[in-house]
Structure 1
């Protein structure tokens, strides 16, 4: 549950325009999800995708 909340907190920070904060939160969440769930778990991959999207030059909503 805590990892899900951390992911959503990053998403909310991103939506509020706090992109640097969101990246830090997603990065931390990704590291913990890899350790707890494994690198190929769907939730780990979702966080990895969001982190990648947040660092790209795209202006799309995440």
Structure 2
């Protein structure tokens, strides 16, 4: 279930949330099926709820 107004976060916040390096996060982003980011001008952001769902699916 997605929220009505998803909160998009930058890579720095996501690395902190998942306790991984930027390099690891970018490696994840190249994996097939990884959620695509949303661009706000030059900024690249992701919806953490969608990433959580992707990571949970990968563990199964």
Bigger helix fraction: 1
Query: More relative contact order in 1 or in 2 (CA 8 Å, sep 6+)?
Result: 2
* Rg larger in structure: 2
Bigger strand fraction: 2
TM superposition score normalised by structure 1: 0.31
TM superposition score normalised by structure 2: 0.32
